[in-house]
Every structure is written in C-alpha cells, then in structure tokens.
Structure 1
Amino acid sequence: MGGAPPSPLESSLRKLLTPELFSHLVTNRLPYPPQSPINFSHFANTIFLTDPYSPLVSPQAWPALLALSQHPLASIPDLATFLPPPSSPSYPTQTLGLLLLLDHIPRLLFRGIDQRYTYSFFSHLSQSLALSWHSLPSHLRPDSHARWKHEQNVALDYWIAVRFWFATPFVHSEKPELQEIAITLTEETRATVEKETGSADPYRQERDEILGDSYAFPRVYNAGPPRGDQVTRESFTWWMGMLFDVHKPIVDRFGRYPYLNGITGRDANEGEEKWLEEINHFAEADEESVRRVREDVKAGRWSPLGTDTPR
C-alpha cells in the first residue's frame, strides 16, 4: 500500500524544488570540467572577492526561496524527501544543489532585513538536511570521496570544491555538536588530500592555537583567500580547512556567533559587546536593519522575504 498523499504544501513545493533546479545550482557554482585541474585562485575569488554566481541562479532560486519563506518552519516537510534515494547515482549532486539553495544562496542574495531569513530560517533547514545525509552509512554519504571518484568519475580537484560546499552548513551552525561535525569533516578532507597528494598540511603545527583563537576568523576572513598563480589545490585546501576550523573557537567561547545577534534580534551580553568592539564589529548587520528586525521580533512577525533585496 502507498503512503499518505502529499499535503498541498508539499505538492506546491515539489513544483519548485526540482531536480532541474538543483542541477542548475551545482553546474553554475562549479563550472569546471570534472576531470581537469581547477584554478583554485579563481575558485576562491568567486566565493570571497567577487560574485559571478548570483546573476546566474537568482531567477531560478527566488521562487523556491520565497515559497519556503511563506510558511512556518514547523510546517515545512522534510526536504530530504525531495531528493532521490541515497543509493541513486544522482543523489550526491542533487543533495549538493539543495544545500546550496538553503545555505549558500541566501547569504549571497539577501540584503537588509531579509538577512534575518538567512540565519533564523534557512539555516535551520540547511542544517537539518545536512544532518540527514551525514547520518547515512559512509558508502552512501553524498560528500564521500569514493562516491565522487568512482561513481561520479570526478578528479580530486573537483571533489575538493564539492566537499567545501557540503561542509558549510556545519561550519555556519551555532550548535556545538554541529561544530564538532565540521571539525571532523575538515580533518577528513585534509587527510584525504594528504593521502592523495603525498603532501602535509602545514597548519597542523598550529592546531591548538587555531582551535583556541576566537579572534582568528575575522582576521583570516578580512585578509582574504590565497591569490595568484602560486595557489594550488593543496594550498587552497590547507587554507580553507584553517578558515573552517577558526569558526569553532567563537562558538566554544560564546555558544553562538555574536555578530549575528543584531540580525537575529538577540541581545548581546557584556562579553560579546567587548569582543565585537575588539574585532571592529566584523560581519554585523547595519543599524537600520537591526532596528527593524528587533521591531519584528518584538511584534512576533516576519517582514516578507524580498522587502529589502532587489530582484
């Protein structure tokens, strides 16, 4: 016997959250031949310094993001069920596409008060989805090097780029248990690249310092990624692993990212205020957006997604 019929909400979402959308998001985020070397200076540039991606995916992503935003989190069906079975050859790419939609694209597109959706709405969906695939047996996990190498027939360079995006929902999380997963994922990536290339990550020598420095993330991010012809897949991997790792000391110290307090409508405590001053208020939302978010939170409402973001 078949299961229960889909709810009207699920049926409407399935018309928007499609395999074609997920594939489109991956193809444009990773526009590299799967078997060829990747210019990792270019890859880092398109993430941290420029944004050629948003114009390519915004028209397709906005309808799905808007539809999701119009419903309470508790009413949204399990988005893992919008993917093919984990054993399907298309599962890794499709999962990556859905993760990009939920975790990455809001960070690129949303402006002003709309940023509240990034951190208080879509982050919950992306982290729930990430936990669902991470709990699978290792041979079914969509971030597996073995799956991408043998099943998707991609080279190590392409998998490094793929693995970066699979890890971001955990890195962005304020939950200590998800930060632990992020640390484990980074170490797995580091170890795989070391094994495949015969090189060693020099940041291993600074491991204790890296994981204990709550000021490192703003400093490293502001300095920017490695640039120029000397950037290799190895040097990019080591730098990116370090960048991911330096998120954890902030959550270890404060239990959250204090620079998100304003855009999520939270109050900072005295220790957080001092730290934010010391890092020159890195990554905080502008005062006007914070004021309006606080008004919404106090009134128990959400300004509609798209209020401040041009489309």
Structure 2
Amino acid sequence: MGETPQTTPSSFNDLDNLLTPSLFTLLATSRFPYPKQSPINFSNFGRDIFLADPFSPLVKDAAWPALLTLSKYPLDKLPDLHERYLSHPGDPSYPEQCLGLLLLLDNLPRLLFKGIDARWTFDFFDHLAQRVVHSWIGLPEEQRPDSWERWSGKLGARMDYWTGVRFWFGVVLVHSERQGDQELGVVYTEETRRVVEKAGGVLDPWRERREMVLSDVTMFPREYRLGPPQGEVVTKEKWVFWSGMLMDCHKPIIDRFGRYPWLNAITGRVSTKEEEEYIERIGHFAEAGEAVRARVKDDVDAQRWTPLGEDSF
C-alpha cells in the first residue's frame, strides 16, 4: 500500500478519547439488539446483514470520529489496539468489548465508506481488524472472546446469540487475503459447525458438497448474490450452515489468485490476464467503477492517500 502522508503525533490522546468502552458497547449492542437468552429470528438476522442496514445509522455519529482519527495515522505507527483499548481477556466485559472493536474496524467501513473512501476499508482498516484477531485467536479457550463455553457459561447466552456473535468474529479471517488466515477461517467455521451439529443432532447438508465449496472460485459471488436464507422459519442451524458455507468458499479464490481480484481496482493493483477473465466471468462482482479506479491508481502511483471522507457524505 502507498505511504500515508501524516506524521505521527507525540501521543495518542485523540484516540484515547475516542476508542472507549462506551463506544465498543454501543457498537456491539446496536449490532446485536437481542436478549442473550431469547431465540433469534435468523431470517431477520441475515436480512439485516446482507439485504438491509439498520446498524450504521444508529452508530455513525459516534463511530465516524474514531474512524477518521485512526486514518490520520500510518499503519505502522498505530499502537496495538487490542492491548491498549480493551480490558484484560479474563475480564467479563472483554468479549463484548472485543466484538465492538472488530465491528468498528471491519464491518462499519464496509457500510459507511463510498467511492474512493472504500480504499481505506481494504488497504487500511482490514489490516487493523486482522491484527486484533491475531491478538485473541491464540488465547486460552477460557479467555477467547468467541468461545461457546464462555458465552454460554459466564455470559449466560443461548446458542442463538452465540452463533450471531461467532459470525462477526470469523468474517475478519475470510476478509483477509493471507493464505494462513483462510486456513484459520476454515478451521473456525468447522468448530462452529460441530458445536451446532452436536447440539441440534443434525448434520450440515453442505458437507455433501464440501469439495465444491473449497474449490469453486465462482461460488462466493454466486451465493452472495443469492442472499441469506429467508422465510418464516430460518433456524440457527440453517443460518450457521449457510453462513459457514459462505465463509469457506472465500478460500478457493485466495488459493487460486493469492488475493481477491475484485479488489484490484479499489486498491490500485494491476490485474493479471487470468484475473481479468475471472472478473468478467463473475460479472464484475464488487468491483469499483472506472472513475474510482482511476483516482485510486493516481493516488497509488503518487504514494498518497485521498483523505477519508471525500466520498462518504
């Protein structure tokens, strides 16, 4: 990625005033407006992620200053956000706080950033989110913020709530273009799948098509466009099995190309001939338009960043 032009301030007081427990709690509870002990309507849950956006209007005013301030720092000068801004992993508040931080870094940029600002999503904030994941994924099971035992035990959540939480912790892995993160993502979805299969006494029907899920480079764009399960009765099992499939079918794309070809335009990368053919084959799924591509390419060539906020309002 190109150099960010800002110099590093002598302290992080501005971030300290913005990346607060109250912000993380707001993000987590706004993304999950459900009682921890009650059933979840997974038709609505999937709709509110893939087909609608009731979340960002609730939190934009609180989150935007934090995102804007983070963007003013070079990536390599930012502190360890997990260590500096979250409570100790053993603290009861840690899982929800960690979830809020990840929603700030991974989910909200995808919802809020438009036009050339979307470069910040994939070339800046995704890297920050992935750093946070690597800070917690190696913790002991009893301290991990995504653990079923922790959410069901000390936090008193039923499995419906946990499967929703677990989804948001895992998507950061599959958004990564690193091969190792994709491997971790497949292990992660399998862990979720096994817990739900055991509890419900039912096998994931996508297991019968496992080879295709992990090899078909066109499956993710196709299934994403089809959307999540909808209807009057979408069980947690149906949601987990569908979302697990959707996460797993990211891996063959990284296996083949080493990156997501549709992100080449928004990150200023040059596509190979094979990638151009692939992008054409998937109908230019999620690809930035020509005008934005040209602006990003100018910035990358000049080793600069258009400041965040240019196109998002």
TM-score (norm 2): 0.96
1:303 aligns with 2:309: no
Deviation string 1:130-181 (CA, Å, 9 cap, x unpaired) is 0110011122111000010111110000000000000011010000000011
Match of 2:3 in 1: none
CA distance in 2, matches of 1:226, 1:244: 15
- Once the two structures are overlaid, the 10-residue window that deviates more, 121-130 or 228-237, is 228-237
CA distance in 2, matches of 1:9, 1:116: 26
1:171 aligns with 2:174: yes
Match of 1:77 in 2: 79
Deviation string 1:205-239 (CA, Å, 9 cap, x unpaired) is 11111101001001100111110113111111110
Quote the sequence identity (%).
Answer: 55
TM-score (norm 1): 0.96
Query: What letter is aligned with 1:250?
Result: I
Offset of residue 11 of structure 1:
2.4
Query: What letter is aligned with 2:45?
Result: F
Matches of residues 1-80 of structure 1 in structure 2 within 5 Å? 8-80=10-82
Match of 1:4 in 2: none
Unmatched 5+ stretches in structure 2: 1-8
Query: What letter is aligned with 1:27?
Result: T
Match of 2:188 in 1: 185
1:94 aligns with 2:102: no
CA distance in 2, matches of 1:206, 1:9: 52
CA distance in 2, matches of 1:192, 1:8: 47
CA distance in 2, matches of 1:169, 1:39: 24
CA distance in 2, matches of 1:193, 1:275: 35
CA distance in 1, matches of 2:288, 2:11: 32
Match of 1:262 in 2: 265
1:272 aligns with 2:301: no
Match of 1:231 in 2: 234
Match of 1:152 in 2: 155
Match of 2:220 in 1: 217
Offset of residue 19 of structure 1:
0.2
What RMSD, in angstroms, separates the aligned Cα atoms of the two structures? 0.8
Offset of residue 8 of structure 1:
4.2
CA distance in 1, matches of 2:128, 2:94: 18
Offset of residue 9 of structure 1:
3.4
Change (3 A) 1:169 1:9: farther
Deviation string 1:22-67 (CA, Å, 9 cap, x unpaired) is 0000000011111000000000000000111110010011000000
CA distance in 2, matches of 1:38, 1:184: 25
> How many correspondences in the alignment?
304
Among candidates 225, 244, 249, match of residue 247 of structure 2: 244
Offset of residue 286 of structure 1:
1.3
Query: What letter is aligned with 1:47?
Result: I
CA distance in 2, matches of 1:288, 1:209: 36
